[in-house]
Structure 1
């Protein structure tokens, strides 16, 4: 079997900093035929259509409210790829490892390779999302609660990674996201870029960053294909639950909690509090997804047409 990660990349410093600082490595997945056009069209035909995320967006990186959700209808996988090539479309196939056997096997390879390289790393709640997106498309400033590795397969894209602290993300903003009171996108200021680590990804690059680090992405002038792989580790799970407990303390008790490391005794107490609160049914429902506002239409400008009633 072909190696997933190119050998010789993880020295003691890289292993120590994994998850603590932005890091780029090299992988070999872009050499596999499962990511050529014919294979991707087949994946789009087999992936549950009601789970397919279809989005378009404006060009201003500040205007994240221009992010709109659409419908693919009964278009074939080949037609959807054409819409990506000709329009301004972002296709998100979340958790392909839950629906397609070959991606389940791929998930095992990828996470197995990382766990083999990083001593003590244990991953669970793995979500391997396939991203297929248009030239010039962008993902607005946002953060993810799980940890993420981005495995780039085709095309070129620029990624800005920002520190997981104020002013890039405040404690209150992070708590709202962890509580599922709001979506992952939030306000971005262009002056934030002065504090960003910037990566220009080529096929074969894999990027990892600290939990909660805000980021944004802009594609180059060709179709992009990537794997966005979310996961939790024990420390990441404790941390997310500690933030959840902080949010409850701020809202219910009027306190101003302080974030600490995942294995700090206070974080472990917060973890227990959060798990108890969730067990009692205090966890809020996630926000309603954006309603569809357009239909993929190859005859329309930008492959975005009016939504039928």
Structure 2
């Protein structure tokens, strides 16, 4: 039986090019119950586990803070997520836990079977375990993304890839890694967004580089976040990278070309050359660890000086 239940020829044709909502059956698998999640947290490399908290104002993206899970067990981490206001991010779970590698292969085999000509690579299947009412601030991703809801309810706002939501300069800064993926948000922009309520068994995917933000409902949330590239998506990322180099080095005002035409191919060469020569040094933002989790008091954050 297929994972996604409502493939249509129209959705298959639009996949990766438009915002789409699907129904799936992953939430029915026992690997996502409390026992399965706790054992996943035990097995996932602790040094790679992302632990975050945040404020309540959707404009206050600088309140996104990094913490440490210390030596808490998987059961304790799950209880902390149930009791507190944290976001646990297990990036590249497919690279570290065999069952999730198999799940990733299963998902992409179906996608490539359903979508004519689809070729995917740089696959990242990550698990998200997050608290009631937690949020992810306004941001965008360079790869293509799909978000699969397993437990709980969350609301996702997806915004157009255009001014005022994101301009060319802001997009270039993110692709060049000059700035973080999170950036300034205006609540008035919600009027132009596509709002999707994700419940267990639903999935949303959106256009490449579309800004988005997420708010959990009043319960524990479990989701799968999948990032991946396709040849057109990688070409777009390289075109944007080249545009950033041309703007900074030559004072040009370049635009993004779609497809594989001569201009785009020329920019691909520029991007590869700039990367080889290290013309653009990324300013990677490393958040300091500002809190820990209390093993004796689930959900309590222990502030660090």
Q: Any idea what SS the aligned residue of 1:295 has?
A: strand
After superposition, where does 1:132-281 map in structure 2 within 5 Å? 132-281=129-278
Q: CA shift at 1:69, angstroms? A: 0.3
User: How far apart, CA to CA, are the structure 1 residues paired with 2:105 and 2:113?
Assistant: 12
User: How far apart, CA to CA, are the structure 1 residues paired with 2:289 and 2:230?
Assistant: 34
Change (3 A) 1:47 1:286: farther
Q: Any idea what SS the aligned residue of 2:129 has?
A: strand
User: How far apart, CA to CA, are the structure 1 residues paired with 2:292 and 2:259?
Assistant: 44
User: How far apart, CA to CA, are the structure 2 residues paired with 1:102 and 1:23?
Assistant: 27
Q: Which residue of 1 aligns with 2:52?
A: 55
User: How far apart, CA to CA, are the structure 2 residues paired with 1:299 and 1:305?
Assistant: 11
Q: Where has structure 1 moved over 3 Å in runs of 4 or more?
A: 298-302
Q: Deviations over 1:207-255 (max 9, x none)?
A: 1100000000000011000010000000000000000000000000000
User: How far apart, CA to CA, are the structure 1 residues paired with 2:279 and 2:44?
Assistant: 33
Q: CA shift at 1:145, angstroms? A: 0.2
Kept in 2, the 8 Å contact 1:298–1:304? The answer is no
Change (3 A) 1:292 1:140: same
1:69 maps to which of 66, 69, 84: 66
Q: TM-score, normalised by structure 1?
A: 0.96
Q: CA shift at 1:168, angstroms? A: 0.3
Give yes or no for the alignment of 1:3 onto 2:17: no
Kept in 1, the 8 Å contact 2:82–2:299? The answer is no
Q: Which residue of 1 aligns with 2:30?
A: 33
* Cα-Cα RMSD: 1.3
Q: TM-score, normalised by structure 2?
A: 0.97
- Structure 1 unaligned blocks of 5 or more: none
Give yes or no for the alignment of 1:127 onto 2:124: yes
Q: Any idea what SS the aligned residue of 1:293 has?
A: strand
User: How far apart, CA to CA, are the structure 1 residues paired with 2:274 and 2:176?
Assistant: 12
Q: Any idea what SS the aligned residue of 2:289 has?
A: coil
Q: CA shift at 1:301, angstroms? A: 8.6
**Equivalenced residues, count:** 305
